[in-house]
């Protein structure tokens, strides 16, 4: 990959759309080095979100571009999302957690009106127990969502907004404009 000015126009437009994102205050986005060798052109954002009760999530949103296209992608662009969050034990024990986690993504894509094809991914919930002299909580429960899809246009703003909404859902933030009773001041 050479300098940004030599990038294909489709890739440049897609990157500019992602750079135009203005996430809610509880979510921080930052440009990071994209993975190498997955596609001739790549761009990546890292994400951190903090929700009520200090629930935290980290994530990455990666844009891949191959001007030759890739058969599995069904296009020239591919968006890859990765989200990881620590959960409370009660939520982690819910057998529907993977289904709910996936619905957070599909609902966010639908709400943002992101136009895409070839959506696929996994939701993994894990529990780790600590024993002996290892410091930290006795049990840690995590949710990990990995997904990718092919946008049908270079306007990736709706896709980026969906990713931000996914991060907000994972940490339990209400929709923008809604205040939880526990968030009101003076209580």
Residue range(s) defining the domain that contains residue 123: 4-172
Whether residue 108 is contained in a domain is answered as yes
Whether residue 129 is contained in a domain is answered as yes
pLDDT computed for residue 128 by the predictor: 79
Statement: residue 3 has pLDDT above 50 = no
User: Three-state DSSP class for 156?
Assistant: coil
Whether residue 138 is contained in a domain is answered as yes
Mean pLDDT value across residues 5-22: 94
Statement: residue 185 has pLDDT above 60 = no
Q: How far apart are CA 19 and CA 30, in angstroms?
A: 10
pLDDT computed for residue 131 by the predictor: 82
Whether residue 74 is contained in a domain is answered as yes
> Model's pTM, two decimal places?
0.87
Statement: residue 24 has pLDDT above 60 = yes
pLDDT computed for residue 46 by the predictor: 98
Query: What's 104's DSSP letter?
Result: H
Whether residue 130 is contained in a domain is answered as yes
Whether residue 78 is contained in a domain is answered as yes
Q: How far apart are CA 157 and CA 150, in angstroms?
A: 14
The average confidence (pLDDT) of the chain is 88
Indicate the number of domains in the chain: 1
Across the strands, what pairs with 114?
none
Whether residue 185 is contained in a domain is answered as no
Whether residue 183 is contained in a domain is answered as no
């Amino acid at each position: 990959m050479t300098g940004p000015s030599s990038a294909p126009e489709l890739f440049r437009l897609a990157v500019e759309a992602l750079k135009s994102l203005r996430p809610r205050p509880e979510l921080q986005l930052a440009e990071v080095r994209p993975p190498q060798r997955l596609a001739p052109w790549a761009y990546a954002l890292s994400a951190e979100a903090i929700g009520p009760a200090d629930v935290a999530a980290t994530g990455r949103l990666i844009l891949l571009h191959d001007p030759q296209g890739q058969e599995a992608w069904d296009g020239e662009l591919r968006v890859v999302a990765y989200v990881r969050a620590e959960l409370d034990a009660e939520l982690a024990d819910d057998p529907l957690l993977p289904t709910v986690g996936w619905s957070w993504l599909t609902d966010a894509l639908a709400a943002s009106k992101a136009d895409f094809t070839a959506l696929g991914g996994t939701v993994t919930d894990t529990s780790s127990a600590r024993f002996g002299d290892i410091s930290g909580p006795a049990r840690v429960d995590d949710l990990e969502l990995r997904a990718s899809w092919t946008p049908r246009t270079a306007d990736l703003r709706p896709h980026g907004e969906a990713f931000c909404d996914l991060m907000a859902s994972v940490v339990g933030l209400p929709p923008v404009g809604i205040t939880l009773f526990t968030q009101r001041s003076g209580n």
